[in-house]
Structure 1
């Protein structure tokens, strides 16, 4: 964890580089620091996944409207200030990447940050964490 899941209307695929947006958002997440200046998100645990909606209805349906939703899920224990900083960072990064799209069409962008305090199971197996812990 953290996992950032992006849901978007498929009419955006021809207008922006979704893979580039994913990479920009992952890099932005890795720059978020806590109050002590320590990285908030581990390199090996940072994931950004984007999915076009197979079906969608946006607003009144009278236009070719677009929408993109970013949901960051992070583990419990980070301060409200760090949570807000993460959200603000993601919003700024997405707005910068999507600026040309905002100039050309009607589009909505939402960023939501969720904390997972009520987990009942969190099984993991990864070769990523050991690799990045060794190289950092």
Structure 2
């Protein structure tokens, strides 16, 4: 179930390597462990997808402002400490990735971790999970 979706203003593409950010976030997600030392985000279910906005408006529109929204959705049942750790881990990856961008551009970044509450239906069919569940 772990998904990380990045929505961003298309001007960000000229500022940084979004594919590289996706890989860095996926790698970081795989390092997050719960209190029992178990991997929080299963390898076969970890996905990071990035989408530039087709249309956007940021702030007062008087500059070429940029914005990046990173949303991680995880299944229910994790402790608040684990959710905090996941968010902090991913925020550090994002901050490191955008360090030089912040020095040269006006950009806002939000990292948000959501829990998938009250799922009514959640079906999966994958050949990825068996590959990593050996």
Asked whether the two chains share a fold, i.e. TM above 0.5, the reply is yes
Q: Taking structure 1 as the reference length, what is the TM-score of the superposition?
A: 0.97
Query: Secondary structure of the equivalent of 2:48?
Result: strand
> Who is 2:19 aligned against?
19
Deviation by residue 1:79-127 (Cα, 9 ceiling, x = unmatched): 0000011111111100100111111011000011110121100011000
Q: Taking structure 2 as the reference length, what is the TM-score of the superposition?
A: 0.98
CA distance in structure 2 between the partners assigned to 1:94 and 1:116 by the alignment: 23
Is the aligned partner of 1:40 residue 2:40?
yes
Post-superposition, which runs of at least 4 consecutive aligned residues in structure 1 deviate over 3 A? none
Deviation by residue 1:52-104 (Cα, 9 ceiling, x = unmatched): 00001001100000000001010000000000111111111001001111110
Pairs within 5 Å for 1:1-136: 1-134=1-134
Deviation by residue 1:4-29 (Cα, 9 ceiling, x = unmatched): 00000000101100000000000000
CA distance in structure 2 between the partners assigned to 1:47 and 1:107 by the alignment: 24
What runs of 5+ residues in structure 2 fail to find an aligned partner? none
